[in-house]
Structure 1
């Protein structure tokens, strides 16, 4: 049986497609201009049974696994949504897994369940002004003071931070290096915790992003996720899923760009003939198809392996980062060719392909820059 096309997953794909066509596509240009999604979309997605896909029912989710979440991503983008929508609507995919992994019932009840119900919006705060992929050397510090931690520092490029109700925040509670990192849930409205400023971006325009500042922020010890100084392990356990998620966005966006290019090439006439009648255009489309299919195959295989083995398995880590780098290379080339096929129409802000072109650029930066992942691959391969 094809794991990706079971009757249940076909039904899920159809549900998500209809939801996207009805609740997302008509409003996406407005949300891009406004710089964020409405909070009501989270509630609507939860009511439709989409928001909690991939999370266990025991913590308030809809059940399912990484293949089911992949089907959701594919369907949204293929129906005319965007990677920016995925990043914003499903930010909880990087905000709450660490809380779930900690097994803390209080934190799960306070943050995970209401988030999966569309009542709260969470974000993940790791990247700092002076460091991105170098997670082990974060400088935001949390000092224990009785029943609280006092947090000082800053975060940047934090997805959904403007709308977010809480931030699962990486802080330094111990010695330098990965061994001194903890995770704290910092709630909006806590004195000293501020959204310093929203950030304007090249792409993902509908996904709000911000800088955060922490000035003597008192966070209850009860908001500690897992063990003190055990945060790096919790973060590392989720890197595989984050990278596979970005690879998904990559090949799904490439497929949508290809579909748009094919449609335009068949409809657009030049010198009395459709663009698709030109050999140079047909060959471009074939190469776009080949690269997209390869990225999809590599990524899906990596997802299946991640389900069968531990996410700490070096082979699983290697496959995930190779899938991401493959998808990055694919989507950057495919969206560029799609814009070229559209010509001047593709350069207009009101064209869908323009959005995908802009959105694709971040995939090679987020979740570990391409260069960092390539170097990690070299180490895993023993080169």
Structure 2
């Protein structure tokens, strides 16, 4: 059986994991700090390392890098009760085998360890080689729920490609933020990111807005207009609310996605545009296809990789993390010192949040401004 090192500062979690894995006949050693972990990795060789992310003055990412440096074939599994997209990206791009959210079922942990063993045996592909990436500031894409961690991992795999992505989710779930993260971690990151709200553009203007128009192409057109697709050349375009475009333009958009050519309104010539297209919607496009309201071929083209963003009511464990993040940000922005209390967290958890992350953000900002006692509690 494989030799494992468990790095976890929570005594109960560490003891539970070690006991469980030993019962499965694994040879397990355990430490409670990054200092101890780095020392063990310097002294010994391990097949698999399971490490918490947030430990002490250093993190599980330091353990990951040390483990891969000591043994490039070591499979590192990171565990955390909170996380950000940046953390998952760093973990993935530095060669982590997997990233699991706490609390996790022990059978899920065992399945991950067994898959790591299969990887070491050459039965499934190993992760990428270590890649250093620059420090990036945190975003509101903060989560610890299993559904969001899976989305983080999916983004880390598709971001470096040029595949078309359809991001689906309710209003306020962070679809544009996910699109920006895909762009940020892509090879196009130094080029423009352009977000287009298709639902806010009149059907008669959508073609000229996206493809551009020559002077005199329509009434009031007194100069050449560069369309959004050309403005984002070499970068990324997000077509938000893609379900709002009418049938007449859907065919033209499909042709663009196939040929990557635009023809500005009024121009006899087409020209190539090098742009990655992402799309987002809060509507059920598959249902619209079935009802004949959206082209099936365009839907297939858009949904090469679909990402379904869960609403906040399905990410219960993320609510305290999001609330604290917005409290911290509001305190910095408004120069306040508001505290989020346990009773406040309980009250937030009892709400259904139909407006999702955006609603939490706006509520917390308002509370930080209006609270009279410097606290957000069940009465605030």
- TM-score, normalised by the number of residues in structure 2: 0.31
User: TM-score, structure 1 length as denominator?
Assistant: 0.31
* Higher relative contact order (Cα pairs below 8 Å, separated by 6+ residues): 1
Larger Rg: 1 or 2? 2
